[in-house]
Structure 1
Amino acid sequence: MKRLFLTPAIALFAFAAQAQTWAVDKSHSKVGFTVTHLMLSEVDGNFKTFDAKVTAAKPDLSDAVFDLTADVNSINTDNDRRDGHLKSPDFFDAAKYPTLTFKSKSFTKVEGKKYKAVGDLTMHGITKPVTLDVVMTGPVTNESPRGKQEKVGFKVTGLIKRSDFSLGTIPVTVVSDEVELKAAGEFTKQDGSVAEKK
């Protein structure tokens, strides 16, 4: 009977012992979104300040676990007035909810390099499960002045509804309820040394 309780703990310990961390190269990564304005045009935005990491025990990263945090106050839509409105209580209420996070719970292969990532997205104080489409490129070995580095790229897309997170009461005829999430990241495998970013 004790064995049944110990097995999950042993499996978790084994994963932790073998897992490798891949750190995001922020100069080659972006976390953004797109909404439709007046049912006519698309408006793009991004978060300038963010951090992300991928943890995986398998060399092909088919068991990847994603962890992302973004600073809501760094939101950028190329319009200062609009950015200020988005940070206000009318939308994100950045003073009260300064960060948004995503933590994956599963990473399932669809075909080739295409995967589905399921996890919890938290913003505006609300946590909801979301499913994201992921395309993985690599991993590859990259030559640098400091030696060989293993790198991998991920392109992530998905759709959410701002109403699910109570983000604004503006009618959908003005700003769409559907928000397209778009992120692209380059990650470097960590070996205990400081990874070069260039």
Structure 2
Amino acid sequence: MNKVLGILGSLCVVGTMALNASVHKLDFAHSNVGFSIKHLMISNVKGNFKTYEAAIDFDYKTKSFNTFNATVDLASVNTQNEKRDKHLRSKDFFQANMYPKMTFKMAEYKKMSDNHGVMTGELKIKNISKVVQFDVEDLGVIKDFKGNNRVGFTLVSKINRADFGLTWNKALEFGGFAVGEKVKITIDVEAIEK
């Protein structure tokens, strides 16, 4: 009898967790996968990726992620300069014809405060996988005009592009290099509860 009650109690806990957790779909019109990198050591060049998708499972009660997995189409890179974008798609950088996707799979999310957390996971570019961390700002939950729950987040990380085989560069006459080593990744997410 006690064993049966224990099983029922466990099922109730799991059921409560499931009710709090919600799967979301991206609102692509209000989301962005962006990056920035130093150019000639004096300015930041910014760009984004036009094509991407994500699986998001967010728990409203604990304000934490159960799942955050993303896939980015590297051929969709966009820096507002077609010549540069073509170079980024080439073998000097992404080699997008051979390695078309960049992926991120969350392994752990630690809530640091009501609106801040740290997400750890595996980032894969050009078949090279590294563990990276994103600082996550929770921008809140709101109902839209149709009564749908929407959540907003900003995820920020910095990576060394050489860690992923993105090593192309050009030395400058006065010292330094044309392209910076560190890449800042900024992901803005607005997602709708399914």
**Pairwise same-fold verdict (TM > 0.5):** yes
SS, match of residue 167 in structure 1: coil
Instruction: Give the superposition deviation at 1:111.
Output: 2.0
Q: Is the 8 A contact 1:142 1:150 kept in 2?
A: yes
* Structure 2 stretches lacking a partner, 5+ long: 1-9, 171-175
Q: Is structure 2 residue 178 aligned with structure 1 residue 179?
A: no
Question: Where in structure 2 are the equivalents of 1:75-114 lying within 5 Å?
Answer: 75-114=77-116
For residues 86 and 63 of structure 1, the distance between their equivalents in structure 2, rounded to whole angstroms, comes to 32
Could you say which residue in structure 1 is the equivalent of 2:25?
A: 23
For residues 179 and 108 of structure 1, the distance between their equivalents in structure 2, rounded to whole angstroms, comes to 23
Instruction: Give the superposition deviation at 1:63.
Output: 3.5
User: Which has the higher Rg, Structure 1 or Structure 2?
Assistant: 2
Instruction: Give the superposition deviation at 1:119.
Output: 0.4
- When normalised by structure 2's length, the TM-score is 0.84
Q: Is the 8 A contact 2:25 2:193 kept in 1?
A: yes
Deviations 1:67-107 (A, max 9, x none): 11110000001110110000001100000000101111111
Question: Where in structure 2 are the equivalents of 1:18-167 lying within 5 Å?
Answer: 18=18, 19-144=21-146, 148-167=147-166
For residues 81 and 93 of structure 1, the distance between their equivalents in structure 2, rounded to whole angstroms, comes to 15
SS, match of residue 177 in structure 1: strand
- CA change 1:97–1:86 in 2 (3 A) is same
**AA at the equivalent of 1:118:** T
For residues 82 and 69 of structure 1, the distance between their equivalents in structure 2, rounded to whole angstroms, comes to 22
Instruction: Give the superposition deviation at 1:114.
Output: 0.7
Cα root mean square deviation, aligned: 2.0
Aligned-pair identity in percent equals 34
Count of equivalent residues: 176
SS, match of residue 173 in structure 1: coil
* Structure 1 stretches lacking a partner, 5+ long: 1-9, 191-198
Deviations 1:1-51 (A, max 9, x none): xxxxxxxxx99xx48x82421111000000010000110110001000111
Q: Is the 8 A contact 1:158 1:180 kept in 2?
A: yes
Q: Is the 8 A contact 1:152 1:188 kept in 2?
A: yes
Alignment counterpart, residue 192 of structure 2, candidates 188, 192, 196: 188
Deviations 1:111-149 (A, max 9, x none): 2301100000011111100001010112222232xxx11
SS, match of residue 131 in structure 2: strand
Instruction: Give the superposition deviation at 1:170.
Output: 1.0
SS, match of residue 96 in structure 2: coil
For residues 57 and 27 of structure 1, the distance between their equivalents in structure 2, rounded to whole angstroms, comes to 23
Instruction: Give the superposition deviation at 1:65.
Output: 1.8
